[in-house]
Structure 1
Amino acid sequence: MDARALLLDLFETAVAAADPLRLLPLHLPPRPTGRVIVIGAGKAAGSMARALEDSWGQDLTGLVVTRYGHGMACAGIAVLEAGHPLPDAAGQDAARRMCDLLRGLTADDTVICLLSGGGSALLTLPPPAVSLAEKQAVNKALLRSGARIDEMNCVRKHLSAVKGGRLAAMAFPARMVTYVISDVPGDAVEVIASGPTVGDPTTSAEALGILDHYNISVSEQLRDWLRSPQSESVKPGDARLARSSVTVIATARQSLDAAAARARALGLNPVCLGDDIEGEAREVAAAQATLALGSGPAVFLSGGETTVTVRGSGRGGRNAEYLLALMIALRGQNHIYALAADTDGIDGSEDNAGAIFGPDSWRRALALGLDPEVMLADNDAYGLFEALGDLVVTGPTRTNVNDFRAILVT
C-alpha cells in the first residue's frame, strides 16, 4: 500500500469507528413501554434515527434535523434538513416543530434525543428579543473570529429558546434519554450541540464577555437580552433535569484508537498526540511539523478541533488550512506525507472532507505558479489543494467526531 492510500485507509478506519448504525444499537436497552417520542439534531441525526428504527421498530414517531445532504430515509421518524454552519429558517421551523412534540408530556412518556456535532446551528430557535437575521450574523462572526467551540456554544445557548437544557426542561416530567456522538474536545456533553438536554454551567454574562472579547458587534436589543434574567440557561441541579440522562456513544478517542490499531496491523508505529487538540490551525501545524522533522519512522495521529481566524478572502476549511501550514513548514521533505480531514466529510463549509499531501506537493505547487505562503495568508488552502488534485472528497459520512490528522514519517 503506498503512503497516500495508507493515510486514506487510516481516515476511513477512523470514520467507520464512529458509525452510528453500528454503535447506537450497542447502547440501547429494550424499547420502553408507553409512548416514545424521538427528537434530535446534528450531522449524524439521520443515521442515528435509522439505527434507532432498526433496533426498536419502524413505528416510532418524532423528528430530527440534519444538514442539507446528510439525511437518511426513515419510516416513522421525520428527517428534516437545514442550514449549517449558519442557521436558517428551515432549522428554526424544525425547532418549533420539536417544541410542539414536547408539550404536554407525562411521567409515563419517554423522549429519545439523538445529538451530534452540528446540532448547535441546525437546531435554532432564537428568543423573541433576537431575530434570526441577527443570530445568523453573530454565528458568522464567531466562525470567522477564531473562537473555540465552547465559546461559540456559550453564546449560542444564551441566544436560544431550546439549547442549554431547555429541551429537557420543556419535556419534563417525561423521561429524557439522550444519545450523543461527541465532536468537541473533552467530550463535554454540555457543549455538544449546545447541550439542549443537560444543565449549563455558563452564564449570560460570560456570553456577553465572549462577544466583547472577539469584538463582535451586536445590537443594543441583543445586549439587553443577555443582561436580562430570562436569557439564563437551565443550570445543573434544576429539578426539571431530574429525569434526564446522557450516554456518549462515539468519541474522537475511539476513532484515533481504531486508526492506531489499524496502523499497527500495517506494521507502522502509531503515536497519538491527543484527541482534544485546539488552537489556531497554522500554529498546531507548526508544532506538529517540528515533531515530524525530529522523528524516526512513525505515524502521528491527532484529533480535536482547530480554529481559523479568517483575514483573507479565499476558500479554506480548518483542516485544509492546517495541512497547508504543515506543507509550508516541511517544504517538500522527501519522507513525510500527511492528511487532515473532518470525520463528517465536510471541512467547514466546503465540499471536501480535507486534503492530503506528499513530498512532491510542494514542488508541484511551485510548478503551477502557486505561492503556498500567499495562499495561506489569504485563507485559500482549498484553492491550493484543489489545483493540486489533493482534496479529500468523501461526501457526507453521517457521523462526526471532529478532525482527524495523520502525519506519516517514512
Structure 2
Amino acid sequence: MTPPRALLRQMFDAAVASAQPALCVPPHLPSPDALNGGRLIVIGAGKASAAMARAVEDHWTGPPDSLQGLVVTRYGYGAACERIEIVEAAHPVPDRAGFAAAERLLAYVAGLRENDFVLALISGGGSALLPLPAPGLTFEHKQALNAALLRSGATIAEMNCVRRHLSAIKGGRLAAACPARMLTLVLSDVPGDDPVDIASGPTVADPTTCADALDILRRHAIEVPAEVRALLESGRGETVKPGDQRLARNEVRVIAAPQQALEAAAVVAQNAGYAPLILGDAIEGEAREVGTVLAGIARQAALHGQPIAPPCVILSGGETTVTVRGTGRGGRNVECLLACAVALAGQPRVHALMGDTDGVDGIEETAGALIGPDTLERGRALGLKARDALANNDGHGFFGALGDAVVTGPTRTNVNDFRAILIER
C-alpha cells in the first residue's frame, strides 16, 4: 500500500492537474467562423492567465494573424506565447508593473473594433495584478489597502468587494470599456464560484455597493485614507451593475472550480483503497478554527468510524482567512494545518496535507505542508513549540524546520485551497 505521505501528495497533484488550463480552456474556444472577419483578442489577469493564453495559442485553428492579446500574471507564472504578450507583476501586494499593465489593458480593449471577438482569461490573483485605482486615488492608496486587507481576517469576497469599488478596471469596468463581443473564461479560486469575486470581476456585473464596501472596512476595523473614504461615501466608486447594456455582449463561463479538484483527489484515494468523503468545496473561516474543527472530525472517524470509517480520506476546499497578530511567515493553509496538528495531539493513524493549488501559500513560495502522528514530537525534538508557532502565525517556519513543506513551484492554475486528512485502518 502507498505510504500515507506519498498518497496525500498524489491526491494534491491530481487536484492541481485536473485544473490545468491545457485541459479546461480548449473546449471553450470560439470557432474561427465565429469571428466573422474580425480578430480574436485575448486579454486576461491572474496566476493561471498565462497558461490559459498558451492553451489558446496551442489550440487556435484560425489564421495565426487573427490572434493577438495582452495578459498579466504573477512573477514566475509566465508562459511562452508567440502572439499574446505576457506581462508579469507582483502578487499579493501589487507593484508598478501591475499598475502599468492594468493601464495598458484598459486602453487596449477601449481601442478595439466592434467586429473583434474578445476572449477574457480570468483566474485568481487578478485583483492584485490589476491595481489601477479609481480617479482621485493613487497607486500607493491601493498598495496600502491591499496589505491591510490581507492582514485583516476579511474573507476573499469581502476583500474583493472593497477592491472593486476602489478600482478603475474591476467590477465590470474592463468589459464596459470594450466595444467588442466578449467571452470570459474563469478559473474559480473562491468559495461559491461567483465570477464577480474572482479577480474582483473585471468583466462581470457587480450587485454590491459602496455602502457594502464601507461596512466591510468598519467591521474589520480597517483604517483607510480620507480620499478612500470620501470616494466610497460619495458613491463615486460604484461598479457596473447587472442589466447594464455595456455588458450585453459578454458571456461568462466558469471552466474549472475547486469541486472538480476535490473529485480528482477522491478518485486517487478510492483507487488506493481509501474511502473518500468530501466535506465541501467552500469552507471558510479563521484558518486555525477550521483546522481545529477538521481535527475533531478526523478524531471521530479514527476512534468511532463516524462520519466515515477508516481507511478513509476526508477532503475539503474553500478559502480560510488569517487575522495576523504575530510576526511569522504566515500562510492560511499552514496555519490551518498547524492548528489541526495541535488539536490532534499526535492522534495515531492520522496524516494530513493542506496546500494552495496555485503553489503559493500566503507570500511564501511554498504550497503548504504535511503532518503525521509524530509531527509535534519531532518539533519538540528540535526545540519547536507548535502552539507558539501558531500564536506567531508562523506555520511556514515550523513546517520548514521539520522538512515537511510541500513545494511545487508555479502550478500555473488556481482552484483554491486543498485539504486532505488521511486516516489509516
Class of the TM-score when normalised by the shorter of the 2 chains? over 0.9
* Inter-partner Cα distance in structure 1 for 2:6 and 2:51: 27
Q: Tell me how far 1:134 sits from its aligned partner.
A: 1.4
Q: Tell me how far 1:281 sits from its aligned partner.
A: 0.6
C-alpha distance after superposition, 1:250-306 (max 9, x if no partner): 000011011111211111100001000000011111111111111131100000000
Query: Pick from 228, 247, 258: which aligns with 1:252?
Result: 258
The 5 Å alignment of 1:296-375 reads 296-297=309-310, 298-375=312-389
C-alpha distance after superposition, 1:129-174 (max 9, x if no partner): 11111111111111001000010000000110000000111003x1
- Please say if 1:162 is aligned against 2:169: yes
* Inter-partner Cα distance in structure 2 for 1:316 and 1:156: 22
- Please say if 1:263 is aligned against 2:277: no
Q: Tell me how far 1:220 sits from its aligned partner.
A: 1.3
Match of 2:9 in 1: 8
- Please say if 1:230 is aligned against 2:236: yes
TM-score (normalised: structure 1)? 0.98
* Inter-partner Cα distance in structure 1 for 2:202 and 2:69: 16
Match of 2:57 in 1: 53
CA RMSD in angstroms, aligned pairs only? 1.0
Query: Pick from 266, 271, 295: which aligns with 1:289?
Result: 295
* Inter-partner Cα distance in structure 2 for 1:380 and 1:220: 33
Give the secondary structure class of the aligned counterpart of 2:184. Answer: strand
- Please say if 1:68 is aligned against 2:78: no
Amino acid at match of 2:364: E
Percent identical pairs in the alignment equals 59
* Inter-partner Cα distance in structure 2 for 1:293 and 1:96: 52
Give the secondary structure class of the aligned counterpart of 1:307. Answer: coil
Give the secondary structure class of the aligned counterpart of 1:347. Answer: coil
* Inter-partner Cα distance in structure 2 for 1:229 and 1:378: 39
Q: Assess if the C-alpha contact under 8 Å between 2:131 and 2:142 holds in 1.
A: no
Match of 1:23 in 2: 24
Match of 2:211 in 1: 205
Amino acid at match of 2:113: T
Q: Tell me how far 1:55 sits from its aligned partner.
A: 1.2
* Inter-partner Cα distance in structure 1 for 2:359 and 2:421: 19
Query: Pick from 191, 194, 203: which aligns with 2:200?
Result: 194
TM-score (normalised: structure 2)? 0.95
* Inter-partner Cα distance in structure 1 for 2:53 and 2:358: 17
Q: Tell me how far 1:230 sits from its aligned partner.
A: 2.6
Match of 2:109 in 1: 102
The 4+ residue runs of structure 1 with deviation greater than 6 A are none
- Please say if 1:40 is aligned against 2:44: yes
Give the direction of change, closer, same or farther, for the CA distance of 1:29–1:103 in structure 2 (3 Å limit).
Answer: closer
* Inter-partner Cα distance in structure 2 for 1:48 and 1:117: 12
Give the secondary structure class of the aligned counterpart of 1:294. Answer: helix
Match of 1:111 in 2: 118
Q: Tell me how far 1:399 sits from its aligned partner.
A: 0.1
Q: Assess if the C-alpha contact under 8 Å between 2:133 and 2:166 holds in 1.
A: yes
Q: Tell me how far 1:247 sits from its aligned partner.
A: 1.0
Q: Tell me how far 1:29 sits from its aligned partner.
A: 3.0
Amino acid at match of 1:50: R
* Inter-partner Cα distance in structure 1 for 2:110 and 2:148: 34
Match of 2:304 in 1: none
- Please say if 1:377 is aligned against 2:391: yes
* Inter-partner Cα distance in structure 1 for 2:197 and 2:393: 27
* Inter-partner Cα distance in structure 2 for 1:140 and 1:291: 34
